[in-house]
Amino acid sequence: MTQFTPSPSPSEIEAFIGQVVTDLSAAFSGVLVNVGRKLGLYQAMAELGACTSPALAEATGIRERYVREWLANQAAGGYVAYDPEKRTYALPPAQAMVLALEQSPIFMASAFEVAASFWLDENQIVETFRSGEGLGWHAHNHRLFCGTESFFRTGYRANLVSAWLPALDGVIERLKRGARVADIGCGHGASTILMAQAFPKSSFIGLDYHDASIATARQRAAEQGVTANITFEVKAATEFDGHDFDLICFMDCLHDLGDPVGALARCRSALKADGKVLLVEPYAGDRLEENLNPIGRMFYAASAMACTPNSLSQEVGLGLGAQAGEERLRKVARDAGFSNLRRAAQTPVNLILELTA
């Protein structure tokens, strides 16, 4: 028997076409955010205030005809404000904090580098979907690495030292006195460097299997003058060695690992008896329906493009995904031998969990 499927109403068709057009508009325009950031257009607008396209072109040395088209696109998307009477454009304060001010706690413009890398890796991901094989982090376009560093660094700068570490029982006191800390999957070292700057009496080691990322982390530390209490090593999470650590951190990376249980188990043996694990993961509910929102949509995309393929490229290949949720993470921690997992803090984009033996 043929199942009858009712035809969609004109209003339903119109509504969904509107959604697709909105998404296409955002996809088309994302590259212009990168263009504006790289050419200093947002920064110049923040300094100039209300301006015309010739004034912005003169301030940045960019050809006016291109600036005019860029401004029109940005105004259409609400990224800049347009005054039709004066024919001037302005970058409102909220937009400036997100798009122009790199030290802002909500700076997000560089996250579009991640989106750019996903498009560049499209052909590779198509093949992984067909084959079921993985794609290691190292195999992605290099723009993923810098974009991820900058995107995460904003949240770490705003929260890591001021809120997340204080949320762990007794950790701040240890760090002030002098503690041993490992940062697993450190990438370009953004979190490791921030902690080393804040707690000069403690020693920090950043580990990542990606040798190019470790080279960049060492360069970042040298540029910022943070070398006395910090080292970086090329090493996979399951190869982590050493002992008597007060704190071991997994910053937005446990779900990327092929064997997160094995990595946590190895870390458990490296901790002091009263040591702790700081687990920072993308915010997610335990049920799919809790994550059907813009944040979930963004993280599911990142998971399909980078996180899950990376996990499936490694031994075990558990494939937790970027939206694992607290209960799934709790099971992983329990399987690794940790008896206690506590949600210490949260943000709109992160879960901050404390693990103890």
**pLDDT (tens digit per residue) in 284-331:** 999 999 999 999 999 999 999 999 999 999 999 999 999 999 999 999
Helix 326-335 crosses helix 260-270 at what angle (to 10 degrees)?
Answer: 60
Interval 251-270 mean pLDDT: 96
CB 182 within 8 A of CB 202: no
**pTM of the entire predicted model:** 0.93
- For residue 111, what pLDDT is reported? 94
CA atoms within 13 A on the CB side of 48: 22
Residue 5 has pLDDT above 90, yes or no: no
pLDDT digits (tens, 9 = 90+) for 51-66: 999 999 999 999 999 9
- For residue 3, what pLDDT is reported? 66
Interval 198-215 mean pLDDT: 97
Residue 235 has pLDDT above 90, yes or no: yes
- For residue 6, what pLDDT is reported? 81
Domain ranges of the chain: 10-101, 112-356
* Mean of pLDDT over the chain: 96
For 51, which DSSP code? B
How is domain 10-101 classified at the CATH fold level? Answer: Arc Repressor Mutant, subunit A (1.10.10)
Binned at pLDDT 50, 70 and 90, residue 109 comes out as very high
Distance CA 42, CA 207 (A): 35
pLDDT digits (tens, 9 = 90+) for 35-91: 999 999 999 999 999 999 999 999 999 999 999 999 999 999 999 999 999 999 999
Binned at pLDDT 50, 70 and 90, residue 2 comes out as low
Helix 41-48 crosses helix 10-38 at what angle (to 10 degrees)?
Answer: 80
- For residue 241, what pLDDT is reported? 85
Binned at pLDDT 50, 70 and 90, residue 242 comes out as confident
CB 210 within 8 A of CB 233: no
- The b/e string for 324-347 (b: 16+ C-beta within 10 A; e otherwise) is bbbebbbebbeebebeebeebbee
In sequence order, the 6+-apart residues with CB closer than 8 A to the CB of 1 are: none
Distance CA 122, CA 115 (A): 11
335 vs 265, 266, 280, 325, 332, CA distance in Å?
A: 8, 12, 18, 16, 5
112-356 is a CATH 3.40.50.150 domain: yes
- For residue 1, what pLDDT is reported? 52
